[in-house]
Structure 1
Amino acid sequence: MVTIPLKLRIEFAKYFFVIGGIMRDFSINAITKNTLHSNAFGIGIGGGLQYLHRNKFGIFIYPQANIHELFDRGIIETNISFGLAFRIPRG
């Protein structure tokens, strides 16, 4: 399965954000047979913390849950994402 997410992130307060949106799921079997049809859509939501040092470099962490419907079965995926961030200054 290959998933293409389309998510929106909304920041509030100084360090908090929520993120959510839809996903499109494609079957790997369909890709290898050049039929590329979509099996299903999914949704995802999460929320977390981000700290930016001098409003440039930072770190983030957020738990998220994604719900996929694939082959007429629901799949719930939960994980915690974390990493480094860089804010591009507005010109």
Structure 2
Amino acid sequence: MYFAIYAAYDTWKATTETKRLFTIDFNRAWQQKKHRDSRQGKKACSLVLHEDIKLKLDELAKTRKVTLSQLVEQLIEKEHRLKDS
């Protein structure tokens, strides 16, 4: 398969610029696929917050030396444990 792909690429009747752009697009798509695959078990979540709340969230994350997503996960887990108690 590997050699078949290279043979098709080498015999492709296209300009050097077209091949270069194809290679760039292909590499970007591959990097995006690897990134998506690494996020298995995670779900994207988009929130709109008031500016002052977002600043507080950023400050908390910086103080605790965690990312925003880690901080939100920690806060949710803590509240969920309190609810179950």
Bin of the TM-score, shorter chain as denominator length: under 0.3
- Give the TM-score taking structure 2 as reference length: 0.19
- Give the TM-score taking structure 1 as reference length: 0.18
Tell me: higher relative CO, structure 1 or 2? Use CA pairs within 8 A at least 6 residues apart.
1
